[in-house]
A = this chain, B = another copy of it.
Amino acid sequence: MNDKLPLRRATVHDVARQAGVSLATVDRVLNGRPGVRPATAEKVESAIAALDFRRDLSASLLARARDLRVQFILPDGRNEFMANLADAILRRARTGIAERLHLDVVRVKAMDPAALAARLGQLDRKSCDCAVIVATDDEAVRRAVDGLARKGVAVMTLVSDLPNSARKMFIGIDNVAAGRTAASLMGRFCGGGKVALIAGSLGLRDHQDRLAGFREVAAREFPQLELIGPFEAHDDRGETESFAAGLLRDHPDLKGLYNMGAGNSGLIAALEAAGRAGKVRVIAHELAEPTHAGLKSGAIDVVLDQNPDGEIRAAVAGARALALGHPVDPHAEPIEIGIFLRDNLR
């Protein structure tokens, strides 16, 4: 009989009783509605603390009778990683529907800050609780993010961050660590010799970070490596292919190649055309169709990956926390760097 009481979770009713106020007042405090004297609010807060009350998520979502709406904004283009990210979102959306979670994806022109800012401007509180963007580091985007925050829409950055803005959270890997890891593996695989570095664009924060990490470890632990580059191939298949072809021609003794950006299918094509696939140690990023094939064939040795499903999971968890008004650490969800060889392909 009374043995069930200690097992029961505290409810708003318990809080009201404990605080000596009415249910309505507890409700006002809990949901930040006006009309409560600070002293009264204080009583409620301490009752909440004393009872260890936590709002019941199920009931809460049910009572609002409204989905949590999360709007993802990704760059468009032929970038396989972004396509995988979009797929992961759609997958999550299917199971999310049972948890009152409505996920939506739009693509905007890649590397076009104005397009991203404009799309952000169209969002509002009614249609969207949280926007998740792959940020371009730009003033217009920063202003759009801050504007949205003022309108009450939480903004989260994904993959690429936007510091000094009103974004509530960043989800992504530590790209400096990824660069360090690449250097560490490359150093042990090659021993010494020439290693070429290719980036998408040095204007992208994540590529910059990878480069910095690689250089740091290469200099400290593998001084016998001779670094060539970095070069920019703009995440483009064709450009990467022709560039890599030239590199292989000019350096018959090339031992290793680290591609920090996309365009890996071009890279593989160049290696195969030169008959050097499997002879040059290659480290690339993002496990997508081309890199998967490259690992299998032996043209690529290692792929460093940020798991799209994991990132989406973290983003959704963050969005939910933000929407429910929980306090959130901007970098609370460290995404693990996936390392793939031919032998642990998923």
**CB of A227 within 8 Å of the partner chain:** no
Q: Nearest B residue to A177 by beta-carbon distance? A: B344
**CB of A59 within 8 Å of the partner chain:** yes
Looking at the complex, which one of B55, B56, B188 makes contact with A100 (CB distance below 8 Å)? B56
A55/B98 in contact, CB under 8 A:
yes
* Count of chain A residues near B, Cβ 8 A: 38
**CB of A338 within 8 Å of the partner chain:** yes
Q: Nearest B residue to A214 by beta-carbon distance? A: B343
What's the least CB distance linking A2 to chain B, in Å? 18
Taken together as a complex, chains A and B put the C-alpha atoms of A100 and B57 apart, in Å, by 8
Task: Say what secondary structure dominates the interface of chain A.
Answer: helix
Taken together as a complex, chains A and B put the C-alpha atoms of A98 and B339 apart, in Å, by 34
Looking at the complex, which one of B189, B334, B343 makes contact with A177 (CB distance below 8 Å)? B343
B334/A336 in contact, CB under 8 A:
no
**CB of A97 within 8 Å of the partner chain:** yes
**CB of A180 within 8 Å of the partner chain:** yes
Write out the residue numbers on chain B whose beta carbons fall within 8 Å of the beta carbon of A213. Answer: 343
What's the least CB distance linking A232 to chain B, in Å? 24
Q: Which of A59, A336, A343 has the most CB of B within 10 A?
A: A343
**CB of A13 within 8 Å of the partner chain:** no
Taken together as a complex, chains A and B put the C-alpha atoms of A58 and B336 apart, in Å, by 30
What's the least CB distance linking A306 to chain B, in Å? 12
**CB of A342 within 8 Å of the partner chain:** yes
Q: A323-346 vs B: 1/0 string, CB under 8 Å?
A: 000000000001011110111111
A217/B181 in contact, CB under 8 A:
no
Taken together as a complex, chains A and B put the C-alpha atoms of A61 and B57 apart, in Å, by 10
Within 8 A of B (CB), among A180-212: 180-181, 183-185, 188-189
Q: A41-59 vs B: 1/0 string, CB under 8 Å?
A: 0000000000000111111
In the complex, 14 of the A-B residue pairs with CB atoms within 8 angstroms, ordered by the A residue number, are A56-B62, A57-B99, A58-B58, A58-B61, A58-B62, A62-B62, A177-B344, A180-B343, A181-B344, A184-B342, A184-B343, A185-B341, A188-B301, A213-B343
User: 7 closest A-B pairs (Cβ-Cβ)?
Assistant: A180-B343, A339-B339, A58-B58, A181-B344, A181-B343, A58-B61, A58-B62
